Structure 1
Amino acid sequence: MNAYRTAALHRPAADYDRRFDGQPVVHCPDCHWAQALDKNLHEGPWALIYWHRDHPDEAVDHLAVLPDRLAVPSYVRWFAQGHWLAIEDQRSEGPGILYGTECLEIFQSVSADGDLERAVLANTHRRYVFPSTARADIEAAASDLFRTGLLRPARGL
């Protein structure tokens, strides 16, 4: 069965009945790939659908539970622009966008060691809040980034 799945044609599609944060979901019924569209980052579903057809080996279920260890996918270009996170998803035709400081802390933390601990600590100190509040905010923001394909499970998971 696995050999068939590997060799089979992938038929990804937009599912306007399934929504995440008001946006439709794109998924592939032939594998486990699924993610939410980001209205600011992705110019509709077509570029993501074509990208998945060309890269079925990169399939991740981004609608699954947020994994403990994360990584920045190779198709995501990011850098700090002041206290903002500038990001571009190279799978789509959309423009790059800016995210807030919290997301920048997440990308820096994930790039350093795959987890969110550095981001929680930075968020705690920057906002002068309890670590539990900072953790909840960081995990919610990381979940949103994961759902739209801007983070993925770290290799080996």
Structure 2
Amino acid sequence: MPHRPVADYDLRFDGQPVVRCRDCHWAQALHEHLHEGPYGLLYWHADHPDEAVDHLQALPDRLPVPAYIEWWASGPWLSIEDKRSEGAGRLLGRDCLEIFQSVRVDSGLERAVFANTRRLSIFPSTARANIEDAAEGRTGLLCPSPGLRQSSNA
């Protein structure tokens, strides 16, 4: 069955429009600074239906950065680009940099929680809440580890 991804401007995630597929569970937020319109993402999904992840679901404990995301530290910031689209890229905050460094090393957010607890001299519960809030806002830029991926309906 062919996949027919669409931009759904009536459905919003954290204030942003959503792109999704009518034929499987793929969905993610459309970030205005990372994606030059929805078309790159829609074409990407049609060409890669086996990589369909519903990024609007709650993030699992184990996360990698997908191969289509380029990221690097730019001073205290996370600099990020999504290769699926023509967007210019974006700078994100220190919490997001800690998240990406954490999942690169151990696929979890615990390292990020520990780093921000020490860096900010705050309680671990506060650091965890901050990290989880920042991670939730990265839909489409993080994905479940391969053993946790949903099966595609392709």
- The bucket for the TM-score relative to the shorter chain is over 0.9
RMSD: 0.8
Identity fraction in percent: 68
Scaled by the length of structure 2, the TM-score of the pair is 0.94
Offset at residue 87 of structure 1 (A): 0.7
Unpaired runs of 5+ residues, structure 2, are 149-154
For the pair 1:116 / 2:109, whether they are aligned, the reply is yes
Which of 113, 124, 132 aligns to 1:139? It is: 132
Q: Which residue of 1 aligns with 2:99?
A: 106
The one-letter code sitting in structure 1 at the alignment partner of 2:122 is V
Scaled by the length of structure 1, the TM-score of the pair is 0.92
Offset at residue 125 of structure 1 (A): 1.1
Unpaired runs of 5+ residues, structure 1, are 1-7
Q: Using CA pairs below 8 Å that are at least 6 residues apart, which structure has the higher relative contact order?
A: 2
Paired residues, number: 148
Moved over 6 A (4+): none
The one-letter code sitting in structure 1 at the alignment partner of 2:142 is L
Q: Distance in 2 between matches of 1:117 and 1:23?
A: 28
For the pair 1:153 / 2:151, whether they are aligned, the reply is no
Which of 38, 53, 56 aligns to 1:60? It is: 53
Q: Deviations over 1:123-145 (max 9, x none)?
A: 11111111000000001111111
> SS of the residue aligned with 1:88?
strand
After the TM superposition, which residues 38-77 of structure 1 pair with which residues of structure 2 at under 5 Å, given as runs? 38-77=31-70
Q: Deviations over 1:69-121 (max 9, x none)?
A: 00000000111111111111000110121111110000000010110011001
Offset at residue 29 of structure 1 (A): 1.2
Offset at residue 68 of structure 1 (A): 1.1
The one-letter code sitting in structure 1 at the alignment partner of 2:132 is E
